[in-house]
Amino acid sequence: MANKYKMMVGAAALVALAGCIEDTGSASAPASTGGTGDLSDFVGARAGQAEGGLQARGYELIRSEGLTSYWFNRDTGSCAAITTADGRYSNITMLPAEDC
């Protein structure tokens, strides 16, 4: 009976700790701040999660050079150079379409 009690207390502790996980927002679907050409709301987002958000806005990965990836939206002609640092998008620069 004591082991069963310990397991229940341990499970309750895990559930309580789950509430302590840092929530940095949903990078996969950030709030839009200006349409498909404005990607500033992705700065600071986790790169792996934010890719889905970029694709949802119509962007596709064109190429990568080091820590910079180039994303292009064929519908709008928008091109974005996105630099990653420590696994997060650290800088997003909108470029002319021909740069993608």
Contact present, 40 and 92 (Cβ < 8 Å) = yes
Q: Cα 95–66–77 angle (5° rounding)? A: 20
* Residue 48, pLDDT above cutoff 90: no
Q: Is the pTM of this model over 0.85?
A: no
Task: Band the pLDDT of 11: cuts 50, 70, 90.
Answer: very low
What percentage of the chain reaches a pLDDT higher than 70?
63
| Widest distance between CA atoms in the chain | 70
* Residue 64, pLDDT above cutoff 80: yes
Q: Per-residue pLDDT averaged across 25-39, rounded?
A: 48
